[in-house]
Structure 1
Amino acid sequence: MKIASPKISISLDVLNVQRALLEDYYVSDGLVTELELDEEQEDKIIFDQIHFQDISMEGVRFQQVEFVDCVFEKCDLSNVDFGNAVFHRVEIQRSKLVGANISQSRMTEVKVVDSVANYVSMSFSKLKKVLFSKTAFNRADFIEATFDKVNFENCELNEANFTGTALKGIDLSSNTYEQLTVSLDKMQDCTVSTEQAIGFAKSLGLKIKE
């Protein structure tokens, strides 16, 4: 699956987000290396062609936020509230999303790579053309999410919850977990390893004969 990369310049000037927010709630074309935000952002903010590097949004609550053609590199997004957010052509690299709320959001052409997203919630979100790679999603919630061309590659999914989410076309075989919560009636056309298949069979109460 080919996912479009953010349309962003390689060479960007450092941007003062605080000054930009005073002028407008549309922030574009810049490198952000320092960021101070109020605990709650009540106005809709659009970030367009922004490279966030080594910044923290920990605990910030956005009422409405949209990220278009953005890169997050080595950022701390722990416990951030991105509920109802829009992500379009976004890459998140080597970042922390522990406990982040990304529920009821829309993600299109998104990559999350080499990151830690334990306890993240993406429940009731709509994901299209999204790649999760080498990322920890232990105890993450994907309850009743809508997946369209979503890939998990070499991720940790222990105790992740996919209740009510159709896993058609999803390949779980390269991912690791000891326990996974799924709706078995929504597992059709989901690819799993032999070992994983045995685990699902046992969850149905079947006895496996060696």
Structure 2
Amino acid sequence: MKNKLQTIVSEICDTEILGLGNKNFFDDTLENIHFQCGLVADVHFENVVFKNVDFSATAFFETSFKNCILEDSRFAKSEFLKCIFDNCRIKNGNFIRAEFNDTSFKNCDFLNGIIHAALFTNCEIIETNFTDTELAQIMGESIKFRKLKECIDIKKSWKLEKIL
């Protein structure tokens, strides 16, 4: 059923507890939704388009995004634990004060976004571009950058500090 995700999330947003778990979504769209302070656990998104979605202060646990487009979406103060972003296009994304733990980015493109005061711990960033993306005050530990000259430049500019 096309747009199953939009229907499910709209119904969840009408409740007091915003939680989405143990689901798979393929070839779907989610747009113009406020899913703030929620929990997304053990969810697999594949070929899903997110447009103008506010996931601020949402916790993502063991969630994967494969071949997804995330456009004009907010992830400020969100937490990502054991998540995977594979071949995703993230345009105009807001990741201010986001935290990434044991999370990987492979073949992703960040375009015109903001990543400020973010924390990366035990993460992998592989063949990922940060084109016209504002990067500032990023801290992290045990981050692996691979296979891209731009990643080397990013690594130098991030001023990564070991967390005590």
TM-score range, shorter chain: 0.7 to 0.9
The residue that corresponds to 2:85 in the other structure is 117
The alpha carbon displacement at 1:41 in A equals 4.6
The residue that corresponds to 1:10 in the other structure is none
- RMSD, aligned CA: 3.0
CA contact (8 A) 1:88 1:107 kept: yes
The alpha carbon displacement at 1:188 in A equals 4.3
Residue 60 (str. 1) matches residue 25 (str. 2)? no
Larger Rg: 1
TM-score (norm 1): 0.63
Counterpart of 2:17 in 1: which secondary structure? strand
Paired-residue identity, %: 18
Higher strand proportion, which one? 2
RCO higher in structure (CA 8 A, sep ≥6): 2
Q: 1:53 to 1:37 in 2, by over 3 A?
A: farther
The residue that corresponds to 2:116 in the other structure is 148
- CA–CA distance in 1 between the matches of 2:93 and 2:48? 16
Paired residue type of 2:159: C
Report matched runs for 1:1-210 at 5 Å.
38=3, 41=6, 45=10, 47=13, 49-171=17-139, 174-180=142-148, 181=150, 188=157, 190-191=159-160
Q: Which runs of 5+ in 2 are unaligned?
A: none
- CA–CA distance in 1 between the matches of 2:127 and 2:69? 17
The residue that corresponds to 1:13 in the other structure is none
Paired residue type of 1:168: A
Paired residue type of 2:88: V
Q: Paired residues, what number? A: 157
Paired residue type of 2:22: D
Counterpart of 1:84 in 2: which secondary structure? strand
